[in-house]
Chain A
Amino acid sequence: MSDLGTLYYINVVAMVVIGLYIVLTKRNVLKILIGLDILGTGVNLLIVVIGYIEGGTAPIYTAGISPAKFVDPLPQALVLTAIVIDAAVLAMAISIAIRLYKEFGTLDVRKMRLLKW
């Protein structure tokens, strides 16, 4: 295994762990959402990383580049979907956060206790 690969993998794992920790422990709605985004970005990074091939090029037919050198195009297609989904979730989350702020006058989840946490 190359050092570069290990670095990427550790990076992915670190982002997942940090994101998860933030989601589990932070008390501010926006901070929680930042954690969620870090987690999502970590997963997206993982998708891109596993498609890489040593010395590969972008999978677009261009004069002078043999298709045998292309990197795996499928993860790139998958990550496009995943990124859009992340963006959609974030948009939805922010509008719910706006509603929460309107209803409770705060973004602190400890003070939202109409329902039991």
Chain B
Amino acid sequence: MVTIVPSLIIASLLGGAFVMTAVAPFIRRITKYVPSIVLLFNVLISLGLLLKSTNEPVVEFIGGWEPPYGINLVAGPMGSFLALIISLIAFLISLSFLKYEPTIEEVKFMILFMLSVLGASGLVLTGDIFNLFVFLELMTISAYALVAYGRGGEGAEAGFKYLLAGSVAANFYLISVILIYASLGSLNMADLVTRMTMLKHGVALASMLFLVIGFATESELFPLHGWAPDVYTGAPPSIAALVSGVLVSASLYVLARFFYTVFAELNTLRSEMFAMLMLLGVLTVLFGETVALVQRDYRRMLGYSSIGAAGIILIGLISEILYAFIGALLLIVAHGFAKVPLFMMSKHLEEKYGTRDMEKVKGAFKANPKLAIPLVAGSLTILGMPPFLGFWGKLLLIYGLALKYPIIALIILLASIVEAAYYLRMLHRLVIQDGELKKQIKIDTVELVTYYAFLALLIILGILPMLLSPYLAGAFIELSNPSFYIKVAMGVMGG
């Protein structure tokens, strides 16, 4: 029986990682191809899942135990869309590994990279709240090591901060899971939706609070963002991009999933959670974009810009407005894609000039148009300029919000202007301004391919956003309509 099942994503990544471990001491050269092959396979699998998701979504009962007894992987429109984006970003990043002639440490680095992606993919696919905890830990623990692998003291320091924030957050989430299990005796999301009404008020409040604190930390929301700027500065550039584009988006998804699905029947609690998340979102946008304005360090600026973006995406995701929701999903894609080349640029800066201070590297990319193009295009995507995908994201998000929450829409508009100010200033410094730096930066072809692939995707999707629209609308239906999700997750719909 050959069918596409979501667990193939998990199994292939795990199998790849184990094969790499086993053979690395003996035949090291072939290991560098494993991540790209496995992740390409995952892109295809998740594409298949996404294509099926609107008509007959695939749900898999792991071990053959139906919910609520076993763990189910639900490839609804939302889950499979995010899984596709995650696999795609990871695949394109993994292409840049091909330039290694890997040492044993680099093999380990690649293994951890794959496992972090595995955690993120599992996080968006699983339908079980404890399994979600396991995938959260998979995703973050491998990220701690990857971040701490960053150069010198900065990497270790950032890794340690991330580890502290991340483990406390995960423990908080676990408390929330246990409170729910202790009251209801079940761990399956779809099964919990209807049982939730039996939850006593104190338990419901505490579990919501611990959940929000935990995942607000993971998704770098103000005032729990403390780890994020340092991680973006200290981590290896590809990992900074992974955290910004994949890990944070997956955590934001979890907040949305609990808000829309698990807590769907608890009206008062839900409005409290809505107010909390909206407030966190607005504060995060304001904080991130303002602080980014005063940064001189290239990567720190990108980091604060990522924090601001997380706020914007969160607002869109939980707004319960179709357009804003679709805009937020498009922004996840646009932001995730664009931040990879942007973060990778800092690697070239550091390797060539040993600094990330934008004042000291004026005109660094002027003599390097091959690198300047992705830098400019990535920045324009983040700013929401056509013809890139970011344009549709911001447009729909602000338009949707303006219908119901005009003030928040205005705030986001203002934040976008601030964003434009510092991105254009950065471009002016690095690309336009004349400096003494006229050196050519040596680049690998593989890396260029990575950058331009992201660029091509952003432009194609920017011109043809309707390619995605049925799935984005499907995702909105899945979230705003819990009974649809229950039907999918219990296997009533499709296979």
Contacts and interface: CB of A to CB of B under 8 A. Distances in A.
Q: Tell me, yes or no, whether A and B come into direct contact in the complex with CB atoms closer than 8 A.
A: yes
A50 B157 CA distance: 37
Decide if the interface of chain A is mainly helix, strand, loop or mixed.
helix
A50 B181 contact: yes
Interface in B190-237: 229-230, 233-234
Interface residues of B, number: 32
Q: Is the interface of B mostly helix, strand, loop or mixed?
A: helix
Given A96-B144, A99-B148, A112-B157, A43 B178 contact: yes
Contact of A96 (B156, B181, B182, B187): B156
A16 B145 contact: no
A36 interface: yes
B58 interface: no
A81 interface: yes
A92 B144 contact: yes
B175 A43 contact: yes
Given A115-B154, A115-B158, A96 B163 contact: yes
Interface of A: 16, 20, 23, 29, 32, 36, 39-40, 43, 46-47, 50, 74-75, 78, 81-82, 85, 88-89, 92-93, 96-97, 99-100, 103-104, 112, 114-116
16 contacts: A16-B175, A36-B168, A46-B175, A75-B178, A85-B141, A85-B170, A89-B163, A92-B141, A93-B160, A96-B148, A99-B159, A100-B160, A114-B234, A115-B158, A115-B230, A115-B233
A92 B108 CA distance: 14
A89 B229 CA distance: 22
10 smallest A-B Cβ distances: which pairs?
Answer: A103-B153, A50-B182, A99-B156, A115-B230, A96-B148, A100-B156, A114-B154, A85-B137, A96-B160, A114-B153
Contacts of B167: 36, 40, 89, 93
Contacts of A46: 175, 178
Given A100-B157, A103-B153, A88 B174 contact: no
Nearest to A85: B137
Contacts of B157: 100, 103, 112, 114-115
Given A78-B130, A99-B156, A40 B171 contact: yes
Contacts of A88: 137, 141
Given A39-B171, A89-B163, 7 more contacts: A36-B167, A50-B178, A75-B181, A85-B137, A96-B144, A114-B157, A115-B157
Interface string B160-184: 1001100110110011001001100
Contacts of B156: 96, 99-100, 103
